[in-house]
């Protein structure tokens, strides 16, 4: 327990090293804390911080209590909190508009969509040998595209070489091993995201200030030292974990083990995202929440707003022991430990500053702080702050039907993206054959790159069709456009094109041809 929480460490260990050594020094903390407080719009003096959070929590509780009698979607039934699902709404004109787009969108081979996106954006410019010098390859762009298609669709070099004329498996394997790594793949993805952000169409789907996260299981062979059995999904594999903007484009991707709590990776994608789309609100499913994640996100200036289930297992904390409410008082069963937060606020802010500065990953910190250690006061302080922040969010969630709808829509986008990337990984029967964790991460990143290329291509096509319809006088409604999605696959040919040639001349059949040598003794 002490090793997991960081109370003890092993010198030279990769997993149990002293993570405190990665934090910024106290001198650096003092020099940066004033400006950081202005950036995240939080007071950094302990007493002022506690007063700020306490007042915010009190305001959230009062707002819910005053509005509760008129809140028709939230109620108590048999001493249980019940949230009624809103009625589904049909967007007028959306189905007709989708039919118009489906009739006009041009069929495309998947590889051609990669080629077109490369010709527009030159995203392969980030691929080069590890030495940093220019690639000494014949037609390097073609090789980079073939390699991306090969690994992004999980074909493998042997199958891809049989499918694409002019390439052999060694060429693609060489480019994969010597010219492309995780950072270069992410640089290409970022270039596509920035170009995607210039389209007008995605602005009707979201603002770019929000993102959602979700994981989907990818199968790997059972006889693999890195394979783990996932109880929730079933089967052996790992989790592809994606950060998806509310404009539908995927910002970041991870490949994480099945045995970890997904929430500890929720902040990594936002911290490592270098694109022009910089969300400060993050949504997720039930796996995306824990008290320590709420606390660290709050100190980083990020609003964590996950989808909530299992309400009966959640604890609501009063802003102070004497606080009482007329309609929702029975919700609250505990009080926030403000004294602990005030005492350890500088230590918590030091952790947040270290994550912001890139000294350590948020997942590394959360892995340590998510360990329920009764001895680790820093964990207890983060947990207390997280309980206060989570309670405030839960109160807002109950009081605001629009917030619930926004969270549901965001998580639906993540689930749709999961289906989209799985559809694109049609090779290898959906199983990653690599036995190396770095290779598995690259496969996820390749697949993410292919998905973003197709999303970019689809937005180009949909934008073209909408422009044509507008010029023809077709009434294109804003609500109908907002109901569209770039995850179109009906027009995409994944498997290539085969020629049906009845003029072929197969060789004659000799049924009696010997197949073994007849040796006579």
Task: Round the average pLDDT of the chain to a whole number and report it.
Answer: 88
Confidence of residue 165 (pLDDT cuts 50, 70, 90): confident
Contact 415, 83 (CB under 8 A): no
**Cα separations (Å) of 179 from 45, 127, 136, 157, 172?**
49, 6, 11, 15, 10
* pLDDT level of residue 154 (50, 70, 90 thresholds): very high
Examine the pLDDT at 404 and tell me if it is beyond 70: yes
- Work out the average pLDDT over 255-269: 82
| Structure confidence by residue, pLDDT tens digits, 431-490 | 887 778 888 899 999 999 999 999 999 999 999 999 999 999 998 899 999 999 999 999
Tokens representing 213 are: 């996260």
Q: What is the domain partition of the chain in residue ranges? A: 2-91+207-420
What does the pLDDT read at residue 224?
64
More confident of the two residues 433 and 189: 189
Task: Give tens-digit pLDDT for 406-419.
Answer: 999 999 999 999 99
Residues of the chain with pLDDT > 70, as a percent, come to 91
pLDDT of residue 447: 96
pLDDT tens readout for residues 32-86: 999 999 999 999 999 999 999 999 999 999 999 999 999 888 887 767 788 888 8
Predicted local confidence at residue 219, as pLDDT: 83
Neighbouring-strand partners of residue 74: 83
pLDDT over threshold 80, residue 239: yes
The residues facing 435 across adjacent strands are: none
When mean pLDDT is compared across 161-165, 181-185, 186-190, the lowest value belongs to: 161-165
> Which run of H or E residues covers position 238?
strand 236-245
Nearest to 48 by CA among 353, 281, 349, 305: 349
**Residue 81: enclosing H or E segment and its boundaries?**
strand 80-83
Quick: pLDDT tens for 287-303: 777 889 999 999 999 99
| CA–CA separation, 85 and 405 (whole Å) | 10
- Cα Rg of the chain, angstroms: 27
Average pLDDT of the segment spanning 84-109? 91
Residue, of 19 and 44, whose pLDDT is higher: 44
Whether the Cβ atoms of residue 304 and residue 286 lie closer than 8 Å to each other: no
Closest by CA position to 265, among listed 291, 287, 238: 287
Residue 225 scores a pLDDT above 80: no
Q: Is the pLDDT of residue 17 over 70?
A: no
pLDDT tens across 479-504, in order? Answer: 999 999 999 999 999 887 777 778 88
Structure tokens at 456: 């970019």
Please write the tens of the pLDDT for every residue from 335-380: 999 999 999 999 999 999 999 988 888 888 888 776 666 678 888 9
- Name beta bridge partners: 214: 242
Is the confidence at residue 15, as pLDDT, over 60?
no
Of the ranges 6-10, 91-95, 219-223, 238-242, which one carries the lowest mean pLDDT score? 6-10
Looking at residue 99, its pLDDT comes to: 95
Average pLDDT on 82-99 reads: 88
Work out the average pLDDT over 174-192.
95
CB distance 369 to 52 below 8 Å: no
The pLDDT score that the predictor gives to residue 188 is: 98
431/411 Cα distance (integer angstroms): 25
At residue 251 the predicted structure's pLDDT band, cuts being 50, 70 and 90, is very high
If you search the block for the tokens 């950036």, which residue do you land on?
39
DSSP state of 434: -
**Helical axes 338-356 vs 377-399, angle rounded to 10°:** 90
Look at residue 521 and tell me whether its pLDDT is greater than 60. Answer: no
Task: Categorize the per-residue pLDDT at 13 as very low, low, confident or very high, splitting at 50, 70 and 90.
Answer: low
% pLDDT > 90, the chain: 60
């Amino acid at each position: 327990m002490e090793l997991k929480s960081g109370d003890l460490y092993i010198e030279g260990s990769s997993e149990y090293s002293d993570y405190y050594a990665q934090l910024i020094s106290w001198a650096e903390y003092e020099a940066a804390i004033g400006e950081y407080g202005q950036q995240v719009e939080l007071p950094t003096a302990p007493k002022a911080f506690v007063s700020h959070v306490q007042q915010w929590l009190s305001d959230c509780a009062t707002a819910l209590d005053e509005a509760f009698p008129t809140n028709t979607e939230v109620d108590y039934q048999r001493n249980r909190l019940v949230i009624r699902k809103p009625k589904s709404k049909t967007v007028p004109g959306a189905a007709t508009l989708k039919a118009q787009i489906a009739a006009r969108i041009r069929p495309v081979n998947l590889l051609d969509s990669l080629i077109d996106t490369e010709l527009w954006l030159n995203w392969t410019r980030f691929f080069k040998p590890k030495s940093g010098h220019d690639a000494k390859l014949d037609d390097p762009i073609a090789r980079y595209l073939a390699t991306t298609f090969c690994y992004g669709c999980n074909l493998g070099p042997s199958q891809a070489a049989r499918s694409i004329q002019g390439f052999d498996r060694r060429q693609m394997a060489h480019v994969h091993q010597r010219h492309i790594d995780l950072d270069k793949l992410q640089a290409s993805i970022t270039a596509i995201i920035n170009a995607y952000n210039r389209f007008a169409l995605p602005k009707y789907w979201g603002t770019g200030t929000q993102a959602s996260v979700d994981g989907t299981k990818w199968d790997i062979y059972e006889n693999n030292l890195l394979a783990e059995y996932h109880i929730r999904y079933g089967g052996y594999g790992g989790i592809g974990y994606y950060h998806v903007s509310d404009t539908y484009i995927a910002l970041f991707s991870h490949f994480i083990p099945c045995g970890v709590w997904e929430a500890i990776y929720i902040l990594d994608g936002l911290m490592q995202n270098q694109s022009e789309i910089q969300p400060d609100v993050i949504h997720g499913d039930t796996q995306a929440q824990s008290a320590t994640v709420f606390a660290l996100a709050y100190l980083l200036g990020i609003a964590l707003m996950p989808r909530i289930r299992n309400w009966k297992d959640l604890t609501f904390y009063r802003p102070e022991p004497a606080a009482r409410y007329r309609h929702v008082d029975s919700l609250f069963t505990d009080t926030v430990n403000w004294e602990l937060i005030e005492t350890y606020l500088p230590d918590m802010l030091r952790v947040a500053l270290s994550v912001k500065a890139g000294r350590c990953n948020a997942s590394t910190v959360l892995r340590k702080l998510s360990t329920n250690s009764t001895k680790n006061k820093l964990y207890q302080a983060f947990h207390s702050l997280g309980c206060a922040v989570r309670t405030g969010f839960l109160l807002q969630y109950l009081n605001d039907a629009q917030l619930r709808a926004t969270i549901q829509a965001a998580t639906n986008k993540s689930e749709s993206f999961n289906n989209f990337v799985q559809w694109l990984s049609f090779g290898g029967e959906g199983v990653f054959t690599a036995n190396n964790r770095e290779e598995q991460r690259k496969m996820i990143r390749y697949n993410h790159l292919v998905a973003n290329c197709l999303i970019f291509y689809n937005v180009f096509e949909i934008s073209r069709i909408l422009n044509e319809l507008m010029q023809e006088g077709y009434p294109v409604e804003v609500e109908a456009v907002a109901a569209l999605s770039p995850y179109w696959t009906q027009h995409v040919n994944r498997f290539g094109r085969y020629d049906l040639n009845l003029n072929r001349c197969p060789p004659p059949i000799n049924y009696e041809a010997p197949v073994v040598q007849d040796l006579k003794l």
